[in-house]
């Protein structure tokens, strides 16, 4: 679904948070304060929507988990809005759902208000999930809501759904769905949604905010200037916070001088859209030290809203020491937020202004060179992480990208560390793919796409994966690279299978087989048959899948017997075992899987894990739980080692079933409880195995 066609100069940064309601009444609100942090964190655009908080009825006892970001200091007023929202909550005993729409301009504090609301009524919610949605925003601001919410629902353990409407996330039991947006949403018409308008701060509220930030005595000494500052910042907390940081760093500067600067800047910037916001940030950025100013401009070119010191240093062409110093100055200036050790986030309003500043400061050639440095840095890191996460797999052709001079890509001790890096940086990797596509750096497009494959097998990000693959296919077509095109179409089919969009998966493979045969590459031809068989298998047609896997094995048998060809045959035999099991031929399927299991161990750990899971399920269906316990325990320990909760949940549930079938109910309960605990923190119900 596309966002509205209004002005996109300053795009919102957004988040999605999910709460499961408990049984207690909410606490008293006390003194409410309006968050001014303006942290740019997670993005979803539903007609310019921002936050989404969802409560859903739990299915049986679950361990409480709370991942909603906490409220931050510097929050004033919003008492009326909070009381209005709180009064609308259904009673704990009522099986009712509430939909709240927080409506207001960018930078007004809608996200802060929603987080304050969640904190104020924390005891009413048993579970809280925070899902990063940055990767779902397209280059033009459009988002495929079906993929977004389908992935979100899977992450919450809800039955698979590919909804395209906000209302599909409305809780069916007790709880609340909170959506924040700059505009009224057509999706919410006729749903009984309660709209809470979040306005700009009044002169009195803005004065209170400034007094808290710079000190009451200083604010009271120039009351007229304080009111002027509030007006010149349009009553937007995100701008007032930056102005206050500016003033705190200059304790002797009269407030009237800053107000005069802002007034002059607004006059000069009147020709620009959103002149008020840009004018305020113009003044704040103008007095930055040279190093910090360069880094600030760089923020507007970064591929994501969160970043580390090294990435910014590479982009700006400065040392890591200089980058660390400059980023600290930006944090002190209120233009950047430090969200973790060596991790920073920029508000969308500041990011848009920084991008505007970079366009003004750099010529097209210089800006292109800086963007290329950024892309090469992330690709060098991504390739290093990809090799550590999945040492053995078929990769797209192209050179190893090296980090820019003066910097080295990180090293990873194991696949767990590599996957953690890929998960933290996946939005930036997708951003690099977009940058490379925009500049038609074709080879860099598919090389940037490649590391996302290992990530997508551990932490599902289907919308991001589909966008990256689509851009890479277009790049391969521009470059006339049939082999790359065919391989990418295979990977795209897997992404659609993850969303149960089997027709789309089949269409993505339509031209892949022809391309493979034109290339004369038998292994690629077998791979296309393999992926086509996976589509049939996951769509519930194991008979058709068996025919395709058999055809793939015949092609491999006629090919040169390289290590890659032998690994491809192992994968096809494993898939044949799965298909036989799904077709009801349990004994035959289990025999093949038992034969393949030791051979898979010679290929790679990920393939071994896939075969292990299939073998466990086949043995359970055959009524051999005693043979399963050791395998399932090994699968769970491997998942913990790799840091892949989805596999841990699956293994623990299978282990619980094995204990139950063996007449060990206490062990079964223990394993199921542990599975529920892990799943409540993350987890996706269901796991589809990858192709080669």
Per-residue pLDDT tens for 238-252? 888 888 888 888 888
Say what the pTM is: 0.70
CATH of domain 290-361: 1.10.10.10
The answer regarding whether domain 378-608 maps to CATH 3.90.1300.10 reads no
280 compared with 22, residue with greater pLDDT: 280
* Domain residue ranges of the chain, discontinuous segments joined by +: 16-197, 203-281, 290-361, 378-608
pLDDT above 60 for 42: no
Give yes or no on whether 290-361 and 378-608 have one common fold: no
Query: Which of 263-277, 558-572, 634-648 is predicted least confidently?
Result: 263-277
pLDDT above 50 for 511: yes
With a CB cutoff of 8 Å and minimum separation 6, the contacts of 60 are none
pLDDT grade, residue 171 (50/70/90)? very low
Query: Which of 441-450, 462-471, 501-510 is predicted least confidently?
Result: 462-471
Summary mean pLDDT of the chain: 77
Once rounded to an integer, what is the mean pLDDT over residues 552-575?
A: 90
- How many CB atoms sit inside 10 A of residue 443's CB? 18
pLDDT above 70 for 265: yes
DSSP state of 610: H
Q: What is the pLDDT of residue 97?
A: 58
Q: What is the pLDDT of residue 473?
A: 95
pLDDT above 70 for 107: yes
Closest CA to 583 of 555, 550, 608: 550
The C-alpha atoms of residue 211 and residue 226 are separated, in whole angstroms, by 9
Burial of residue 661 (CB within 10 Å: 0-12, 13-18, 19+) is middle
Q: What are 543's two structure tokens?
A: 């008979």
With a CB cutoff of 8 Å and minimum separation 6, the contacts of 30 are none
Q: What is the pLDDT of residue 502?
A: 93
Q: What is the pLDDT of residue 390?
A: 82
Helix, strand, coil shares, percent, the chain, to 5: 60, 5, 35
pLDDT grade, residue 39 (50/70/90)? very low
Q: Read off the pLDDT of residues 577-614 as tens digits, 9 standing for 90 and up.
A: 999 999 999 999 999 999 999 988 765 777 888 899 99
- Asked if residue 438 lies in contact with residue 468, where contact means CB atoms within 8 angstroms, the answer is no
E runs forming strands in 143-225: 175-181, 194-197
pLDDT grade, residue 54 (50/70/90)? very low
Once rounded to an integer, what is the mean pLDDT over residues 666-691?
A: 67
pLDDT above 90 for 493: yes
The residues that bridge with 66 in the sheet, in sequence order, are 128
Query: Which of 155-164, 212-221, 425-434, 445-454 is predicted least confidently?
Result: 155-164
pLDDT above 90 for 470: yes
The C-alpha atoms of residue 69 and residue 328 are separated, in whole angstroms, by 23
Once rounded to an integer, what is the mean pLDDT over residues 53-80?
A: 55
């Amino acid at each position: 679904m596309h966002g509205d066609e209004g002005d996109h100069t300053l795009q919102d940064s957004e988040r999605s948070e999910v709460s499961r309601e408990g049984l207690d009444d909410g606490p008293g609100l006390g003194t409410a304060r309006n968050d001014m942090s303006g942290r740019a964190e997670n993005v979803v655009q539903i007609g310019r929507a921002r936050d989404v908080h969802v409560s859903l009825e739990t299915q049986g006892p679950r361990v409480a988990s709370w991942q909603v970001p906490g409220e931050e200091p510097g929050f004033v007023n919003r008492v009326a809005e909070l009381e209005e929202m709180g009064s609308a909550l259904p009673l704990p005993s009522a099986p009712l759902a509430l939909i709240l729409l927080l409506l207001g301009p960018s930078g007004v504090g809608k996200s802060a208000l929603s987080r304050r609301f969640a904190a104020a009524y924390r005891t009413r919610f048993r579970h809280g999930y925070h899902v990063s949605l940055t990767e779902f925003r397209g280059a033009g601001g459009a988002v495929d809501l079906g993929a977004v919410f389908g992935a979100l629902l899977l992450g919450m353990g809800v039955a698979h759904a590919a909804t395209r409407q906000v209302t599909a996330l409305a809780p069916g039991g007790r709880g609340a769905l909170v959506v924040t947006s700059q505009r009224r949403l057509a999706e919410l018409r006729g749903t009984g949604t309660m709209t809470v308008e979040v306005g700009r701060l009044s002169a009195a509220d803005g004065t209170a905010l400034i007094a808290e930030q710079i000190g009451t005595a200083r604010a009271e000494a120039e009351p007229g200037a304080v009111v002027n500052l509030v007006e010149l910042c349009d009553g937007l907390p995100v701008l007032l916070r930056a102005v206050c940081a500016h003033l705190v760093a200059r304790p002797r500067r009269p407030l009237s001088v800053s107000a005069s600067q802002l007034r002059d800047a607004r006059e000069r910037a009147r020709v620009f859209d959103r002149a008020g916001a840009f004018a305020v940030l113009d003044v704040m950025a103008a007095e930055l030290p040279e190093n910090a100013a360069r880094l600030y401009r760089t923020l507007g070119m970064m591929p994501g809203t969160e970043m580390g010191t090294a990435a910014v240093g590479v982009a700006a062409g400065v040392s890591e020491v200089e980058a660390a110093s400059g980023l600290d100055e930006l944090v002190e200036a209120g233009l950047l937020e430090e969200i973790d050790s060596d991790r920073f986030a920029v508000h969308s309003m500041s990011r848009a202004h920084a991008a505007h500043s970079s366009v003004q400061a750099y010529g097209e050639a210089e800006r292109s060179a800086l963007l290329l440095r950024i892309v090469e840095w992330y690709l060098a890191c991504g390739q290093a992480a990809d090799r550590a996460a999945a040492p053995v797999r078929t990769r797209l052709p192209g050179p190893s990208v090296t980090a820019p001079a003066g910097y080295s890509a990180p090293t990873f001790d194991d696949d767990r560390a590599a996957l953690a890096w890929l998960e933290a940086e996946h939005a930036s990797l997708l951003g690099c793919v977009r940058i490379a596509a925009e500049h038609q750096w074709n080879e860099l497009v598919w090389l940037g796409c490649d590391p996302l494959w290992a990530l997508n097998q551990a932490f599902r990000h289907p919308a991001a994966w589909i966008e990256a693959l689509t851009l890479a296919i277009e790049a391969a077509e521009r470059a006339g690279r049939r082999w790359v095109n065919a391989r990418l179409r295979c990977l795209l089919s897997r992404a659609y299978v993850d969303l149960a969009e089997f027709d789309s998966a089949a269409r993505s493979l339509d031209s892949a087989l022809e391309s493979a045969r034109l290339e004369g590459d038998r292994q690629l031809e077998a791979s296309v048959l393999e992926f086509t068989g996976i589509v049939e298998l996951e769509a519930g047609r194991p008979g058709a899948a068996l025919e395709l896997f058999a055809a793939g094995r015949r092609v491999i048998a006629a090919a040169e017997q390289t290590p890659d060809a032998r690994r491809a045959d192992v994968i096809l035999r494993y898939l044949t075992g799965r298909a036989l099991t799904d077709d009801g031929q349990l004994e035959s399927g289990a025999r093949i899987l038992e034969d393949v299991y030791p051979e898979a161990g010679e290929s790679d750990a990920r393939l071994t894990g896939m075969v292990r899971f299939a073998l466990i399920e086949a043995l359970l269906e055959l009524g051999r739980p005693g043979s399963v316990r050791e395998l399932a325990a090994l699968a769970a320990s491997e998942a913990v080692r790799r840091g892949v909760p989805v596999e841990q949940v699956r293994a623990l549930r299978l282990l619980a079933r094995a204990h139950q079938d063996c007449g060990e109910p206490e062990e079964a309960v223990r394993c199921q409880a542990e599975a529920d605990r892990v799943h409540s923190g993350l987890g996706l119900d269901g796991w589809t195995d990858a192709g080669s």
